[in-house]
Structure 1
C-alpha cells in the first residue's frame, strides 16, 4: 500500500523542522538498516518495499511502498529519531501520516507549488524530482512509487503552463528579492553580499543581476566561494574581509545553511541593511533581528505578498491535481490485474509451446515454421479481447470481480493487492489494518511505545520548548485544527 509521513511549515515551526531534518541525508540508509535488523531478529518479511525522502527548507516527507501501514510508520519514526537525535515520542508528535488517496493528492499539490510558503514557486518541483532520482539511483523505488512521482511531475508541468498561480513559477528567492527591493526602495547603486553557494544563492544572485545590481559579492563559510564567484561574475570575499563586506552591503542574502556565521557585532557599522535569511538552518544569530537599522526577512515572512483570494487559476490548478490523482488511481487499479493477465499469458504460452513441440515432431522445415507463426498469431488475437476487457474492468473499479472470475474459469488463484491488505494482521492480531481517514498525527496512528504522558516525553526532548508554539501540537492543515498536548 502507499503511505506517507509529513512534517511541513503548515504544521510545525521552522525551528522544529530544522531539528527534525538534521541528518536527513542518512535517513534512507538508516531505514534500511533498522529494517534489516528487525527482519533478522523476528524472521518476518521486510515491511517497506520502497521509499522516497523529500527534505527541503519547508518540508520533511517520506513516501513509502509498504505491506503494513502501522509497522512502516513505526520504522520511519524510529529512523528519524536516530538521525535527528530527538526523542521518539517528540518526533511522532511532529509528523502526520496517511495512506492511499490522500497521499497522491498531497504530493501533487506540493510538486505544483500549491503548498509552498510562496504559493506557486518553482523550486519545489525540481527538489521533489531530485529526491525521487536519488531514491531511484539507490534502488529504493518500486513501480508504484515510480507511477506516483511521474504523475506528480506531469501535474506540476500542467499547473505551471495552464494555471500559473501566486508566484507563477518564479523562485522563492526571486520573491524574497522582490521584498528586499521594496524595503530598499530599489536596487540602483546597491551592493549585495551573498552568503552561501547553494541553490538559493545561485537563484538570488541571478535575480539580482537581472535587476541591474552590479556590485555582487560572495562569501562561503565552507570555502567554496572562488568557483561560485567565477562562474557567476561576482567578487570573492575572504573570511578576513567579511566584516568590511557586511558594513558595505545594502542587501545580505544569507542562505548557506551551515549554522550561525553572522553575529550582531558584525552589523554594528553596517547602517541601513536588509538581510534575507533564507536557510532553514539559519546563518544569523537571533539578536541580529533586534539591531537598529537592520531588517531581517525570513522564510515565514515570504508568506506575505501573494494574494490568491478567489483566484480562478487556483481553482483550475486544483482541478488539474484532481485529474492526476484519478489517473494515478486508475493506473494502480490496472496494475492490480497484471498478475492475473501474466498468469493467463503463461498458461496459454505453455499450452502453445507443448502443441508446437508435438507438431514439430510430425512436421519439419518451413511448414512447421509457418504453422507456429499461425498458432501464435491466433493466440495473440484471442488474448487481445480479454486483456482489453480486463483493463476496462480495472479502470471502472471491478478489478476484484475480474480476478475472481479469472480464478473460477481458469482455476488459477491470483491474490490482489487489496486481498493482501485485508489479510494482513491488524493492531490486535485480527485481519485488516485500520486505515486512517485522511491525514492524522502519527502519535495517534501508532501508539507510543513507552507508558506515560506524551507531553512529558515532549518536554524531555531538546526541541521541547521551542518546538511547538503556545504549548500546542502541530496543526493538521487538512482538518483545520490543532490539538493540545494533553489531548
Structure 2
C-alpha cells in the first residue's frame, strides 16, 4: 500500500516547512525503522514542500493508521514538532492517488510557481538518497522513476516550464522595481549548489556581469572557476556583502550565513578605511532622504552599497531577519515570494494535468495487475504442469510427429486466454480477490507466499499509477 504524507505552501506555515526541511535527511531512515509495517520511505523536501512517501505492508482489512501515526511521530521527533500539530497539518494521500499526486509534484503543477524547473531534479535526488540509505522499495522505485518520465513528458508536450519559470526567476521579477540597471548591479551569490547555478543564469539573463560567490562550505573557488566569476573567501565575505547591491543566498546551511553583524562588520571596515558611502555620481544626503522604494544605483567598487536588497532563497533561512534593522537594507524571502506567485496559465496547466491524470491511471492499472501476479503465476504453473504430463504420456504412446503435443499446447493457450483477460479486467476494477477466489474454487490453486513475478505472470503488464483515492487531512 502506497501512502503520501504531505505538507506544502498550501497547508503549512513557513516556519513548519523550515523545520521539516532542515531535518529531512534524517527523516527517511527514522520513518523506515519506526513501524514493522513500513517497508520503505522516500522523503521529498524542497523550499515549499515536505512529503514522505511510504510503502506499507498491510494485510487485507488491516488499518494503516497505526503505521501512519508512527511515521508522523518519527517526523516530529527529528524536526522537534509535536505529532498532534503535524497530524492536523499533513495531507494524506493513499491508494492510486499517490501516483497522480507525485506526478503532479514532479511536473511542477503543485509548486508556488507552476511549472518551475527545479522540482523534477529534487524529486529525482530524493529517490537517489533513499537508495543510498536503503529505505526505498521496488514499488517506490518504480513510482519515482515514472514520475521523472512524466515530468519530462509534461515539459516537452505543454507550455509548462518552457520559460524556465522558477522561484529564482520570480524573486528577480519582484526585484525589478528596486533595480534601475541590472548591468551596473553588483551581486554577491551565497551558495554553490543547483539553486546557485540557476540564480546565476537568471542574473545573467538580466544583464548582470558583476557577480561574486561565497560558499560557507568552502566550494566557492571551484564554482567560480567553472562559471567565470570571482570567489570570495571567509575573510573577505563581510566586505563583499557590504558592497553588494544585491545579495542572493541559496545554501543548505542550517544556520544564518548573512546577518546584521556581518553587514555591520563590512560597513565598519569601509568606514575605517575612509571609503565614500555616497552612490556613484550622487549625493549622500539626498540618498538618505529618499523614500525606501528608491531604486538601487550601482556603487563604486570600493564603497558599501547605499541600498541593499537581500534575496533569501534558502530553507532553512539563510538570512537573519535582523538585517532589515540596518539602514537601506530590504529583505525578500521565500515567504514574501510565495505571496506574489503568479496565477496558473490555465491552457498549459490543463494539458499538463491531462497527461498526469492519464499516466496515473495507467500506473494504477499496471500496479493492480502486478498485485495478481503471484496468483497468475500459480495458475499458469498448474496448467503447464498438467500440460507437460500429458505431452510426456503422448510421447510414450507414439506421438512421433508432435501433432498431439501441438494440439495440447494450443488447447492450453485457449483455456488460459479468458482467465488472463478476466484477471486484468478485475484488477482494474479493484476486484483482484474475486479472481483469486475463483481460481482457488475451480482449480484448487492458490498463490504461493512470496511468488516471484516472471515474464509469464506479467503477461503484458507495464509500470504506470492511478488516480483514485483522494487527499484528506489526518487530524
Q: TM-score range by the shorter chain?
A: 0.7 to 0.9
1:195 Cα deviation after fit? 0.7
Structure 2's unaligned 5+ residue stretches are 268-304, 450-467
* Mapping of residues 24-423 of structure 1, within 5 Å: 24-35=24-35, 46-66=36-56, 67=58, 68-136=63-131, 138-165=133-160, 168-258=163-253, 259-268=255-264, 269=267, 270-303=305-338, 306-308=341-343, 311-355=346-390, 379-380=412-413, 382-413=415-446
User: Aligned in 2, Cα 1:291/1:257: closer, same or farther, shift over 3 Å?
Assistant: farther
- Of stretches 305-314 and 102-111 in structure 1, the one that deviates more from structure 2 is 305-314
TM-fit CA distance, 1:374: 7.6
CA distance in 2, matches of 1:143, 1:351: 33
Flag the 1:296–1:125 CA change in 2: closer, same or farther, 3 A: same
- Give the Å deviation of 1:61: 0.7
Alignment RMSD, CA only? Answer: 3.1
Kindly indicate whether the alpha-carbon contact (under 8 Å) linking 1:121 and 1:171 is maintained by their aligned counterparts in 2.
yes
CA displacement, residues 428-458 of structure 1 (integer Å, 9 cap, x when unaligned)? xxxxxxxx9843433x3xxxxxxxxxxxxxx
Check 1:209–1:168 CA distance in 2 against 1; reply closer, same or farther (3 A cut). closer
Assess if the C-alpha contact under 8 Å between 1:120 and 1:170 holds in 2.
Answer: yes
Normalised by the length of structure 1, the TM-score is: 0.75
Residue in 1 aligned with 2:287? Answer: none
| Equivalent-residue separation in structure 1 for 2:384 and 2:348 (angstroms) | 52
Structure-2 change in CA distance of 1:24 and 1:368 (3 Å): farther
CA contact (8 A) 1:52 1:140 kept: yes
SS of residue matched to 2:34: helix
**Worse-matched range after superposition: 211-220 or 56-65:** 211-220
Q: Which has the larger radius of gyration?
A: 2
- What CA distance in whole angstroms lies between the structure 2 residues aligned with 1:169 and 1:413? 53
**Are the equivalent residues in 1 in contact too, given 2:23–2:79 (CA < 8 A)?**
yes
Give the CA deviation at 1:175: 2.7
Indicate the residue corresponding to 2:473 in structure 1: 441
Note closer, same or farther for the CA distance 1:260–1:397 as it changes in structure 2 (3 Å cut): closer
Question: Unpaired runs of 5+ in structure 1?
Answer: 36-45, 417-435, 445-487
Return the alpha-carbon distance in structure 2 between the equivalents of residues 151 and 21 of structure 1. Answer: 24
Alpha-carbon distance in 2 for matches of 1:232, 1:368: 74
CA–CA separation in structure 1 for the residues paired with 2:331 and 2:404: 81
Secondary structure of 2:84's aligned partner: helix
TM-fit CA distance, 1:375: 5.6
Shift of 1:176: 2.3
Using the TM superposition, give the Cα deviation of residue 320 of structure 1 relative to its aligned residue in structure 2, in angstroms: 2.5
Aligned length: 412
Aligned 8 A contact 2:189 2:211 in 1: yes
Match of 1:14?
A: 14
- Residues 210/371 of structure 1: CA separation in 2 closer, same or farther (3 Å cut): farther
Please give the per-residue CA displacement for 1:304-344, whole angstroms capped at 9, x wherever unaligned. Answer: 55543672222222322322232222223322322221111
Whole-angstrom distance in 2 between the partners of 1:16 and 1:213: 34
Q: With structure 2 as the length reference, what TM-score do the two structures score? A: 0.77
1:108-136 per-residue CA deviation (whole Å, 9 max, x = no partner) reads 22112121122210111111122123334
